[in-house]
Structure 1
């Protein structure tokens, strides 16, 4: 039986008179890697922020069900206790804390000291650059290093659902490949992931299923590999005729 981790039904988000999200449905099942793709301004980031309660003052309608309970209107800090973690667009690292301190902050809901130390070493092995700079302030890192840190920090909380918002934005091609390598590895370890990403090709290659968002609406959904070969998706998002 498929276990539903996240279900969004008829989600609408309005800033004053501007309707950013216009009534969308999506679901993420346990162990899936789901991607949400679309052009700039489609409403993808707004959708993630509505799920995590991190939107500025606006009107949110519809249902947001996480692990069987409604989280609409919940404070984001409570969601971390429920093992829902998000890596925001722009990384959001604690710039005046060291790499080590950022990782410890990711584990602040845990009290298994040995497990926390083991996880820090795990992510240092995945991202050797972070280990080399463990005592360095996060604000002095490159964009790619900050993205590594933001992902590792989120994973320190042992999330049941990991939301990733544009993890490849502004990174070099080599760094993009590294980030997606980690996304695929984390997914293979059983972490459920909802990925918002502008690099549609890499996102569809990594994902199980996909949703396409345009002007606040879901315009297409289905198997991610099938979408890679869909002429409409190729023309609109993959730069192919």
Structure 2
């Protein structure tokens, strides 16, 4: 039986009088790459923010269990200590720090110097473009390079679960392909990933399982490869049919 890393049950989120998420169930098992796709405004990013405790002023109901324990109401900095990491929409790198300093910030909860250096070497192997520019200020990187840095920084914390929010947003088609290549590489190394993404085709091609979110509800879920062939998914999200 698969080890459950994330289990969401009956999650409802309201901003004032607006119900953004209307009672969803979702789970991610150890080693899986699960994607949550849907149109802009469907509630995908709101769901990620509920997981990470970064929704001030919202009414959040339901259950969110991470590695078997409830994390409802847990502060985001406590979740980092529990090895839950998120790469937010818009990347959020430390622009006035170098690439290397950003990676060190990703490991700030750790004290194993040799392990940290080994991980820097490891992720520089996956992201050779970052290694070439390790002393460069993060703010001078291209959008795609910043996305790679944000992912590498999150991975430095040894996440049991990595949340990726719209990693392809605003990037050129060539860089989008590169980012998804990296997502697949990271997944192949055993990192458990929940990926929120508007590029449904690339997301489903990379994922093991998928969920479709529409107007705050999960309207479909299943094997990602099967969903790629589903007529409804093709028509609504892949521009086919």
Between the aligned partners of 1:129 and 1:185, the Cα distance in structure 2 is 15
Number of the residue aligned with 1:230 = 230
How far the C-alpha of 1:76 sits from its partner, in A, is: 0.7
Between the aligned partners of 2:100 and 2:92, the Cα distance in structure 1 is 15
Between the aligned partners of 1:121 and 1:171, the Cα distance in structure 2 is 26
Are 2:185 and 1:221 aligned? no
Between the aligned partners of 1:60 and 1:137, the Cα distance in structure 2 is 38
Number of the residue aligned with 2:28 = 28
Between the aligned partners of 2:169 and 2:119, the Cα distance in structure 1 is 26
Which sections of structure 2, spanning at least 5 residues, go unmatched? Answer: none
Number of the residue aligned with 1:43 = 43
Residue correspondence of structure 1 range 103-122 to structure 2 within 5 A? 103-122=103-122
Number of the residue aligned with 1:79 = 79
When normalised by structure 1's length, the TM-score is 0.98
Misfit runs of 4+, over 3 Å: none
Q: CA RMSD in A?
A: 0.8
Deviations 1:158-179 (A, max 9, x none): 1110000000111111211111
SS of the aligned residue for 2:186 comes to helix
Between the aligned partners of 2:222 and 2:126, the Cα distance in structure 1 is 31
Number of the residue aligned with 1:63 = 63
How far the C-alpha of 1:2 sits from its partner, in A, is: 1.6
Q: How many residue pairs were aligned?
A: 241
Between the aligned partners of 1:129 and 1:28, the Cα distance in structure 2 is 30
How far the C-alpha of 1:24 sits from its partner, in A, is: 0.4
